[in-house]
Structure 1
Amino acid sequence: MRLAIAASLCVLLLSLPASHAEPDKRDFSPAERLLFMTPQLKGLQAPMLLRYTFGKTGSFEESFADSVTVSLSAKEDGRCCDAKGVFLSGARKLQVPDVPAADGNPVILYFLEHDVREMKRLTRGSEYHFRKRIRMGIYQAAEVRDVSLRYQGRAIKGKEIVFSPFLDDPNRPKYEKFATKSYRFTLSDAVPGGVYGIRTSIPGESAAAQPLVVEELLIEGAKAPAR
């Protein structure tokens, strides 16, 4: 099971946009570089535990609150980091692979793997198709903008990446209720691990209606893990 999950994460990270260009023969978008090619863990002192809150709300299903952690330990050379994640708990828990010698924060890929599985569960569609649409959205249509944020009582600066990968999907009629789903990634060098938050939202059927589903991961903080 763990090998299968690791393989699916690699598919999400490495799948190419519609041009099918080789990775070393095409330009990566600014959003791709920020999400997948930035050494977000660089400079952290291991051991460290990155802690995130996770919440689900909306009219479509029962709401819940949970947590996500990424445990960082020193590599053999003493530098940061080998990463081990825990994504949600109990029946909702997603088994995620350890990431040795991690540069980027794996919580991004863990969230996306969870998201793809949720899209499959809600629509009975193909995980491969949803992965491809998300990666195409990041490559082709994501907007990147500067934002001001608050973290532990102080103002910080960050980048926000926003896209809606299913709006122009030819398969949209198969899951029309969920096709307006939007994704928002908020990154900042001022928070440990570089990921301030990730949010997905599926609006209701009218402007006045409550959203169908909102899922949001937010940085809570970082600390040395309990011994």
Structure 2
Amino acid sequence: MRSPIPALLLGALAGSAALAPARAEPVPGAPAAAPNPAAAPSATEPGAAEPPGATALLFETNQLGNAPPGQALSYRYTRFSSIEGAPFGPPVADRIREAVEAGPTPETRNLTVEMFTGARRMPTATYEDVPGNPVLVRFLEHHLDDLARVLKGNPRYIKNAIRRALRESAVVTPTEVEVGGVRRPGWRVVARPFADDPVRDRLRGFDALTYTFVVCAAVPGQIVSIDARAAGPDGGTLLQETLTYEPSAG
């Protein structure tokens, strides 16, 4: 059975199917068309007169061209919430691992993605001939599923809010990332999809939800970190969910 959230997320946010899995259980299949990575803007090169758009930077950039075949990309995943009753479940500290193999072109890769370990482990997914890093979509897919369940909301509504924020109001600024002991240029993307939501009074504090993405062309796979967090009016943590690249854990 195809999971609807990745396809909806990619199609709406980026207009792209570049990260749809080629084979996955139980998330098989891929939409028909994918953008040409060579036509994408050089979004990961700070120093341009204008910063890149958030969707171009996150979804339309060749992120895997610098990921060496035969190696693996490892990401630490954490989730914490102090909401009474623990609707998000207990705190989580786990990993997502992507085994990288050569694709049919120098710009693309074939990947095998193992998301979480032990009892939390999700079915392995494989991606073929992709230029973009699927860890971004896997994180957002999992996040949207949990958020919609806790808020008893429509995943499409949440997805559309994130889409609008990334396209229309996300703030993209230069930053620096330490790579092998050297500070390298990167980009920080910050979006607050629900800050002005017309029904934010029904979001139980999640109108404060802020997404921060850090990317760097010098990091294999380019995704450095993802942070989704919301603090309640009492200062408690409604949700803090993070993904962080681990250069020595592949």
TM-score (norm 2): 0.75
Letter in 2 for 1:150: E
* Distance in 2, Cα, partners of 1:222 & 1:36: 25
**Map of 2:12 onto structure 1:** 15
Within the alignment, does 1:212 sit opposite 2:238 as a pair?
A: yes
Query: How far 1:77 moved relative to its partner?
Result: 5.6
- d(CA) in 1 for partners of 2:211, 2:124: 21
The alpha carbon displacement at 1:202 in A equals 0.8
Q: Which of 97, 101, 115 is matched with 2:143 structurally? A: 115
Q: Does 1:48 align with 2:68?
A: no
SS at match of 2:7: helix
CA distance in 2, matches of 1:176, 1:138: 22
Partner of 1:20: none
Mean CA deviation greater in 33-42 or 146-155? 146-155
Give 1:210 shift. Answer: 3.3
Contact conserved, 1:72 with 1:83, CA < 8 A, in 2? yes
Figure out how many residues of one structure are paired with residues of the other and give that number: 210
Cα RMSD (Å): 2.5
Give me the whole-angstrom Cα distance separating, in 2, the residues matched to 1:80 and 1:50. Answer: 15
Structure 1 residue 150 displacement after superposition: 2.4
2:247 corresponds to which of 202, 221, 224 = 221
CA distance in 1, matches of 2:152, 2:246: 33
The code of the aligned residue for 1:214 comes to: Q
Q: Matches of 2:126 and 2:195 in 1, distance apart?
A: 34
List alignment gaps of at least 5 residues for structure 1. 18-23
Deviations 1:86-125 (A, max 9, x none): 2223443444642211101111111110111111121010
Structure 2 counterpart of 1:216, one-letter code: T
Counterparts of 1:35-74 in structure 2 under 5 Å? 35-60=58-83, 61=86, 62-74=90-102
Following superposition, the deviation at residue 223 of structure 1 comes to 7.3
Compared with structure 1, are the counterparts of its residues 194 and 174 closer, same or farther at alpha carbon in structure 2 (3 Å cutoff)?
same
> 2:5–2:155: 8 Å Cα contact kept in structure 1?
no
Amino acid at match of 2:148: K
Once residues 153 and 54 of structure 1 are traced to their aligned partners in structure 2, the CA distance between those partners, rounded to angstroms, is 23
Q: Contact 1:82/1:99 (CA < 8 Å) preserved in 2?
A: yes
Which residue of the partner structure matches residue 49 of structure 2? none
Once the two structures are overlaid, the 10-residue window that deviates more, 37-46 or 92-101, is 92-101
User: Is the helix fraction higher in 1 or 2?
Assistant: 1
Shift of the alpha carbon at 1:75?
Answer: 2.4
| Pair 172,105 (structure 1): closer, same or farther in 2 beyond 3 Å | same
Q: Where does structure 2 lack aligned partners over 5 or more consecutive residues?
A: 15-34, 36-40, 42-51
The answer (yes or no) to whether the contact 1:183–1:198 under 8 Å persists in 2 is yes
Deviation at 1:152, TM superposition (A): 4.4
SS at match of 1:176: coil
Q: How far did residue 48 of structure 1 move?
A: 2.0
1:124, 1:160 → 2: CA distance? 30
Identity %: 27
Counterpart AA for 2:220: P
Report deviation, 1:84. Answer: 2.1
Q: SS of the counterpart of 2:164?
A: helix
- Residues in 2 aligned to 1:176 and 1:59: alpha-carbon distance in whole angstroms: 13
Deviations 1:13-53 (A, max 9, x none): 11169xxxxxx9xxx97101000000000143312210011
Q: Distance in 2 between matches of 1:125 and 1:96?
A: 27
Moved more, 31-40 or 76-85: 76-85
The equivalent residue for 2:214 is: 186
